Structure 1
Amino acid sequence: MIQFSGEVPENKVNVVVTNLTVLDRDQPHSPNWNAVYRIVSGDPSGHFTIRTNPITNEGMLTVVKPVDFEMNRAFMLTVVVSNQAHLASGIQSSLQSTAGVTISVQDVNEPPVFPVNPKLIRFEEGVPAGTTLTVFAAQDPDHFIHQFVRYSKLSDPANWLKINRTNGQITTMALLDRESMYVKNNVYEATFLAFDNGKSGSPQASGTGTLQIYLIDVNDNAPVLVPREAQVCERARPNSRVNITASDADADPNVGPFVFELPSFPASVRRNWTISRISADYTQLKLRIPYLEAAVYEIPIIVHDSGNPPLSNRSLIRVKVCPCDDNGDCSATGAVAAAGLGTGAIIAILICIIILLTMVLLFVVWMKRREKERQAKPLLIDPEDDVRDNILKYDEEGGGEEDQDYDLSQLQQPESLEHIINKPAGVRRVDERPVIAESQYPVRPSLPHPGDIGDFINDGLRAADNDPTAPPYDSLLVFDYEGSGSTAGSVSSLNSTSSGDQDYDYLNDWGPRFKKLADLYGGGDDD
């Protein structure tokens, strides 16, 4: 019997282990030549199959079911082959041929496996932190290789659990709450990872396991009143009542039926209101007295659940009592009153609004009047001081500026004489804008409002007095050298003298423009 052999890694499928070859002298690719292969022994679990290659007529032995090295290290198969067509009659030959196939299974590093996956455990909610829940351990299928299995947490939505790295023990880190948003249908799920240290020449292998914790409900939530706001008529009517119930985050039997009652304090609650049960979970709140003044009332109600032991909660329901129409609906006036605003409060609000509007109107009128006064206020300039003239250069022909109608506020006092000293010879115009660096003082507006001209002049005076670049009143003036031969006398003999040595009476003959100067220097004693 012909022998064939091959190798296959464990846990692999759809892998060709070996090709079986046959020899047939019939016409190729005819039914008399086509071979048919069958496995007759050595594979009771059906791990292998043989398909015929239509081109070469070889038998391709293929793995169709994973093999485990720890279960079977080798397989001894018996394979028979026959033609697709039967032999012709009278031929003395065997109808089939037999061959043996030896298959060796190669060991690979397999991941750890959790025997029970997912694993379901049951615990009451509220177990404290540090409680041991279970041991979630995995097994390494590689029995012939000594490896260590380690554990880690892969998914824990609420971060409630931790796992021991070496033995897989699960311990709580926080209180388990069935009412948590991470609990679905009373079950909390967490996923853990088990991995080995790998064997020589192969990487680590890992497997995952899911732990499901079914949380048994305990009565740890008190019921809450529903609804929290309502509306009734100020006069007791059959249809003027409020249906109330309660909500409880717990599960049955720790919820309803609920028990409702009014507290004995304050006494006005039971004196004005009453409740009556209409079903296991509903009760009605209505007026006990025929009439109650329209307002907003906060009514305390105590609710008990049916847990063991039962829990209770004192809740407030906000009830608006208002006048109603014939249909029992709260009217517009009643809505205002129910909001807590009586007639006196409404009148007070209206008076405050009127006072506020009056104050705004008076302020607007005062601002307009002040604006008119500012526009009508005259310029604080003496008409006699409104001198509009030019200082002419001696070497110029013709008159000065004919247009004398300009705003004196545009004229600015030069802040330095340096630009006058450095200019060519001749008489300088002191009304020219200086070209030296800007003063350190802030620039004043060029065209102030007429009503503020006095403040403007005072500010300018203070700035000029404090300007460190301004020359002193009694200073040495620098004149340009104009050459020799002048018919005028020398000015080198000029010096400062007292005003008493000079006669300034002739200034009175120069007209009104020099009147201020004549008043300063004429007919007075030296200070």
Structure 2
Amino acid sequence: MATREKSTCRNGEQLLKIKCLKLVFDCFSYHANLTRFFHLLLSVLVKFNNCAGNKGVRYETNSLDFKVRADGTMYAVHQVQMPSKQMILMVTAWDPQTLGRWEAIIRFLVGEKLQHNGHKPKGRKSIPGELAQQQSDTLLPWRQHQSANGLRRQKRDWVIPPINVPENSRGPFPQQLVRIRSDKDKEIHIRYSITGVGADQPPMEVFSIDPVSGRMYVTRPMDREERASYHLRAHAVDMNGNKVENPIDLYIYVIDMNDNRPEFINQVYNGSVDEGSKPGTYVMTVTANDADDSTTANGMVRYRIVTQTPQSPSQNMFTINSETGDIVTVAAGLDREKVQQYIVIVQATDMEGNLNYGLSNTATAIITVTDVNDNPPEFTTSTYSGEVPENRVEVVVANLTVMDRDQPHSPNWNAIYRIISGDPSGHFTIRTDPVTNEGMVTVVKAVDYEMNRAFMLTVMVSNQAPLASGIQMSFQSTAGVTISVTDVNEAPYFPTNHKLIRLEEGVPTGTVLTTFSAVDPDRFMQQAVRYSKLSDPANWLNINATNGQITTAAVLDRESDYIKNNVYEATFLAADNGIPPASGTGTLQIYLIDINDNAPELLPKEAQICEKPNLNVINITAADADIDPNVGPFVFELPSVPSAVRKNWTITRLNGDYAQLSLRIMYLEAGVYDVPIIVTDSGNPPLYNTSVIKVKVCPCDENGDCTTIGAVAAAGLGTGAIIAILICIIILLTMVLLFVVWMKRREKERHTKQLLIDPEDDVRDNILKYDEEGGGEEDQDYDLSQLQQPETMDHVLNKAPGVRRVDERPIGAEPQYPIRPVIPHPGDIGDFINEGLRAADNDPTAPPYDSLLVFDYEGSGSTAGSVSSLNSSSSGDQDYDYLNDWGPRFKKLADMYGGGEED
């Protein structure tokens, strides 16, 4: 029973403080009715006799507002605001000894007062069970009274509180949930029905209702994880289908049971933590989800660590937040060099981690201890040595080895080497081998034995990553490296390379130009150096083999094709007598200064002018191979001898480079004239040249252009020569025309004659090729002369009886055919055949046939006169001696396999 201790009403809100409520488990669902006037609750009969009698039974509720004592009394832990219609709680009772579990639903209903007399009802200790059952499962439309203008009217409506159904119920099914009644059922017959998801919508027929009694049933077990609630509508109609009441909403909630284990998102979690981390360092988070209601203990998951492997240096190196699943370090001493990985088994349990009746699941957390640079690299020895030949680069002279206990091939392990002293000129560098982490001392700048015979280096090693906080560099992180330099025979070199000298062109042969000497760097070996020419394109120079003195072997000409930009280049070789000998090259560049050694040349060499003056002139200039100041301005003048030159021609200077040549007289006969002109340059001393220009004088048209006849005449041909040339051209064209006419006529006659010849009898055609294998005739054209003059064919007359080989030439006299006289080729195959036919008719040995027959020769002298006489000869009449003759092609086989007469 429940007792009301205090009640207040504030601004229409209903507040209730419940002190205690005695719970007994006689059925699954209990209803406690509360009125707005806070009358006492009706008591409920007890049918369950195990829960209350056992003092070891424990109770829990899914609400934070209420708790249940060990004796089954429910109480509110603070002031509770009741909802306007109802409040639903679930109470779980379980026995730790038998592990038995019981659940009950407590429903607090807020309704009208039970009596209508306006007085508060007195509290009753109990009511009959039938009445209690009727109040728990029968829902009637209640009446809400309203007043207006002093008048009272009544409004009917259905008020259906939410219905709670536990999941995984074992039945039996159908199981009654609630009974729906209309207060009109005493007056008329009413039919009840329900619609909505779970009734007439998928999933179908989860709920059903008796249309007469209004009892509503659930037909199968419910699964809250599949669907947590249903919304149905109840309808009441009369027998004619007319609506009696307005449809009412039914809300059915599936009460959660702890039927799902927590499930980890991943079965294996991977995390990492730096070695040397302090306690409380975050490592990773594991997460498990429970499909049960997370607002109840069924879905509240708690975590704990079950095992840790290995248990070093402590068995509890990590801890886990029971609610969030965060794994953090709890102890110091993580050292990757000792333990690189931990395997932690994490357990998730629902029911807020209660191991007795909660469901559990496990997952594996793999925690990798990551490396930090807490071990500085150390040289394996304090001194190293190496050797390098002089003048060699990119040579590894020493390998430095270090030891580092950090993780290989990581920035904490990768070594970086530095030379801190002993190499001020930067001859060496130290590169790190990415595989072995060794330092390779490499020569990057050539060393000279004559300058330094040894190097004493001090090197230091560190890691790519800085050392961890609190770690100091070891004294073994520095070492000494001794590098010895070995002497080699170095090539002589020219100190000045390329060497440039300047002199005037045209110096005489044998002139000493310079001394191009080389230096041998091996001054301790006292070696001799000899010189020779390596490249002298114009062969203008000589070099002394012992001292390198260079003299001219020919006159140097600046205008030569071997000169590029006034510079002549020659290459010389200097070689010592070392073992092995070494040599070096040097380039000598000679800059030639121009002198006035080239007279100017007149341009152009030929020109054309009209026979009358004032029509055109000839522009002339000069070219000089020299350069300024030994070139223009030029002076152009006509010589005084012969006098006709100055009489017929005149020169007008335009500027220092150009002049004009023109006729002085009014008319000059057409022809070719050689006009000498003197051209002088501006050199010191100046040089001049008399150049002859061929001028073609010709008659011109009004535009000043030479006419065709005039051009020919200007070429030096007279009128008679021109007429002779024209006659020769006409004769040549006539001969060509006659030859073409004759060829056409001959081709026509040949075509007419070919029409009289039968193409099938024309044996002059090419021999056809039928893709036979083997060699063929070199020429495909058949020689008709062989048919016109056949050679004499001898037939075998005398042959001993016997079989004769068909590939053997007949031996003996053969009949002599009359030789036809040699006649010219008739040109007609018909004549050839007719003559052959006449020769065959006159042959006494030819068969008596009317037509010419051709047979292949198969031998003669057969012993059988006819087919009937084949048996008349004996084997003794046959001569098989010819079979012993294998011939040259099979002679080698006969020598290898022939066995004699018995074979």
- Same fold at TM > 0.5: yes
1:164-206 CA deviation, whole Å, 9 max, x = no partner? 111111111111111111111111111111100013xxx1111
Q: What is aligned with 1:194?
A: 574
The 1:87–1:247 alpha-carbon spacing in structure 2 relative to 1, beyond 3 Å, is closer
Whether 1:265 and 2:629 are equivalent positions in the alignment is no
The alignment of Structure 1 onto Structure 2 pairs a total of residues equal to 356
Whether 1:163 and 2:539 are equivalent positions in the alignment is no
Q: What is aligned with 1:139?
A: 519
Task: Report the Cα distance in structure 1 between the residues aligned to 2:470 and 2:507, rounded to whole angstroms.
Answer: 87
Question: Deviation of residue 283 (structure 1)?
Answer: 0.2
SS at match of 1:335: helix
SS at match of 1:69: coil
Question: Deviation of residue 147 (structure 1)?
Answer: 0.4
Question: Deviation of residue 96 (structure 1)?
Answer: 6.4
Candidates 406, 409, 412, aligned match of 1:32: 412
Aligned AA for 2:606?
E
Candidates 385, 391, 396, aligned match of 1:16: 396
Whether 1:105 and 2:485 are equivalent positions in the alignment is yes
Whether 1:178 and 2:178 are equivalent positions in the alignment is no
Contact 1:80–1:96 (8 Å) recurs in 2: no
Whether 1:236 and 2:613 are equivalent positions in the alignment is yes
Question: Deviation of residue 310 (structure 1)?
Answer: 0.3
Q: What is aligned with 1:124?
A: 504
The 1:3–1:241 alpha-carbon spacing in structure 2 relative to 1, beyond 3 Å, is same
Task: Report the Cα distance in structure 2 between the residues aligned to 1:218 and 1:277, rounded to whole angstroms.
Answer: 26
Contact 1:137–1:168 (8 Å) recurs in 2: yes
Contact 1:87–1:95 (8 Å) recurs in 2: no
Aligned AA for 2:696?
K
Greater per-residue helix proportion = 1
The 1:323–1:27 alpha-carbon spacing in structure 2 relative to 1, beyond 3 Å, is closer
Alignment of 1:300-311 (within 5 A): 300-311=676-687
Q: What is aligned with 2:669?
A: 293
Contact 2:569–2:587 (8 Å) recurs in 1: yes
Whether 1:331 and 2:707 are equivalent positions in the alignment is yes
Alignment of 1:249-264 (within 5 A): 249-264=625-640
Contact 2:598–2:624 (8 Å) recurs in 1: yes
Task: Report the Cα distance in structure 2 between the residues aligned to 1:314 and 1:31, rounded to whole angstroms.
Answer: 89
Q: TM-score, normalised by structure 2?
A: 0.38
Candidates 195, 202, 210, aligned match of 2:587: 210
Task: Report the Cα distance in structure 1 between the residues aligned to 2:466 and 2:632, rounded to whole angstroms.
Answer: 82
The 1:3–1:345 alpha-carbon spacing in structure 2 relative to 1, beyond 3 Å, is same
1:294-337 CA deviation, whole Å, 9 max, x = no partner? 11111111000010000001111111111111111111121122
**Structure 1 consecutive aligned stretches of length 4 or more whose deviation exceeds 6 Å:** 350-354
Question: Deviation of residue 33 (structure 1)?
Answer: 3.0
Q: What is aligned with 1:432?
A: none
Aligned AA for 2:449?
F
The 1:90–1:341 alpha-carbon spacing in structure 2 relative to 1, beyond 3 Å, is closer
Whether 1:322 and 2:698 are equivalent positions in the alignment is yes
Structure 1: state its 5+ residue gaps: 361-445, 448-527
Question: Deviation of residue 352 (structure 1)?
Answer: 10
1:230-285 CA deviation, whole Å, 9 max, x = no partner? 11111112x41000001111111111111000111111111111110112200000
Task: Report the Cα distance in structure 2 between the residues aligned to 1:100 and 1:41, rounded to whole angstroms.
Answer: 10
Aligned AA for 1:236?
P
Task: Report the Cα distance in structure 1 between the residues aligned to 2:472 and 2:645, rounded to whole angstroms.
Answer: 116
Contact 1:82–1:95 (8 Å) recurs in 2: no
Q: What is aligned with 2:110?
A: none
Task: Report the Cα distance in structure 2 between the residues aligned to 1:271 and 1:339, rounded to whole angstroms.
Answer: 23
The 1:198–1:326 alpha-carbon spacing in structure 2 relative to 1, beyond 3 Å, is same
The 1:350–1:121 alpha-carbon spacing in structure 2 relative to 1, beyond 3 Å, is closer
Q: What is aligned with 1:378?
A: none
The 1:96–1:346 alpha-carbon spacing in structure 2 relative to 1, beyond 3 Å, is same
User: Which is bigger in relative contact order (C-alpha 8 A, separation at least 6)?
Assistant: 1
Contact 2:382–2:476 (8 Å) recurs in 1: no
Q: What is aligned with 2:455?
A: 75
Contact 2:600–2:624 (8 Å) recurs in 1: yes
Kindly name which structure, 1 or 2, has the bigger radius of gyration based on alpha carbons. Answer: 2
Greater per-residue strand proportion = 2
Aligned AA for 1:228?
K
Task: Give RMSD over aligned pairs.
Answer: 2.5
Q: Percentage identity across aligned positions?
A: 75
Task: Report the Cα distance in structure 1 between the residues aligned to 2:470 and 2:647, rounded to whole angstroms.
Answer: 120
Q: What is aligned with 1:457?
A: none
Task: Report the Cα distance in structure 2 between the residues aligned to 1:82 and 1:351, rounded to whole angstroms.
Answer: 105
Q: What is aligned with 1:245?
A: 621
Question: Deviation of residue 343 (structure 1)?
Answer: 3.1
Task: Report the Cα distance in structure 1 between the residues aligned to 2:466 and 2:607, rounded to whole angstroms.
Answer: 95
The 1:21–1:260 alpha-carbon spacing in structure 2 relative to 1, beyond 3 Å, is same
The 1:229–1:90 alpha-carbon spacing in structure 2 relative to 1, beyond 3 Å, is closer
Structure 2: state its 5+ residue gaps: 1-380, 736-821, 824-903
Contact 1:81–1:96 (8 Å) recurs in 2: no
The 1:320–1:89 alpha-carbon spacing in structure 2 relative to 1, beyond 3 Å, is closer
Question: Deviation of residue 225 (structure 1)?
Answer: 0.7
